[in-house]
């Protein structure tokens, strides 16, 4: 994939995005929704799969109980502290650093190309490249690795084993 710099408007003038500048990462309304972290004391971090536990609120999803398996998306913001609001990406391609993916997918060096990632049955808010096989757990496909830093979201309905 070629890396290109987008055109931006600065002081009414069209120019190429300058080194060190970033685009506004607010994806609300275009694949992202603003939700409140409803964890009692834990922050949720970029890439964590979450489920909606109340109106406009999310918690870390886990594939071991029917109440925590319905993934609505992955945390887009670097971190959302308890009771704070942040963006949850629900569709499209989520691009994070290899370190951010390593923290939630248990990998080293980011995601693996063409690998399906599932909701973890053993660690809330984590992903795994190994589908659960234990009776009573759920198989919850979340997305597929496109590169070490990109995951195409493909959240599917959970399957009870």
Structural domain spans, the chain: 27-160
pLDDT higher than threshold 60 for residue 155: yes
pLDDT higher than threshold 70 for residue 34: yes
pLDDT higher than threshold 70 for residue 70: yes
How far is the C-alpha of 15 from the C-alpha of 57, rounded, in Å? 39
Q: pLDDT grade, residue 67 (50/70/90)?
A: very high
| pLDDT score for 26 | 53
Which tens digit of pLDDT belongs to each residue from 102-133? 999 999 999 999 999 999 999 999 999 999 99
Q: pLDDT grade, residue 22 (50/70/90)?
A: low
**Which residue matches tokens 């971090």?**
45
How far is the C-alpha of 46 from the C-alpha of 43, rounded, in Å? 10
Q: Which of 107, 115, 105 is nearest to 146 (CA)?
A: 115
pLDDT higher than threshold 90 for residue 53: yes
* pTM reported for the whole predicted model: 0.82
What are the phi and psi torsion angles at 36 (to 5°)? -100, 135
93's enclosing H/E stretch is strand 93-95
pLDDT higher than threshold 70 for residue 3: no
Q: pLDDT grade, residue 21 (50/70/90)?
A: low
């Amino acid at each position: 994939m070629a890396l290109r710099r987008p055109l931006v408007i600065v002081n009414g003038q069209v120019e190429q995005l300058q080194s060190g500048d970033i685009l506004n990462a607010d994806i609300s309304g275009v694949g992202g929704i603003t939700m409140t972290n409803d964890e009692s004391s834990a922050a949720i971090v970029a890439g964590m799969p979450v489920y909606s536990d109340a109106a406009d609120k999310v918690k870390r999803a886990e594939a071991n109980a029917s109440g925590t398996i319905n993934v609505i998306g992955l945390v887009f913001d670097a971190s959302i502290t308890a009771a704070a609001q942040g963006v949850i990406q629900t569709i499209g391609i989520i691009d994070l650093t290899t370190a951010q993916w390593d923290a939630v997918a248990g990998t080293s060096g980011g995601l693996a190309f063409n690998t399906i990632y599932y909701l973890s049955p053993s660690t809330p808010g984590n992903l795994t490249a190994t589908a659960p096989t234990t009776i009573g757990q759920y198989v919850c496909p979340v997305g597929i690795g496109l590169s070490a830093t990109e995951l195409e979201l493909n959240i599917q309905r959970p399957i009870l084993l």
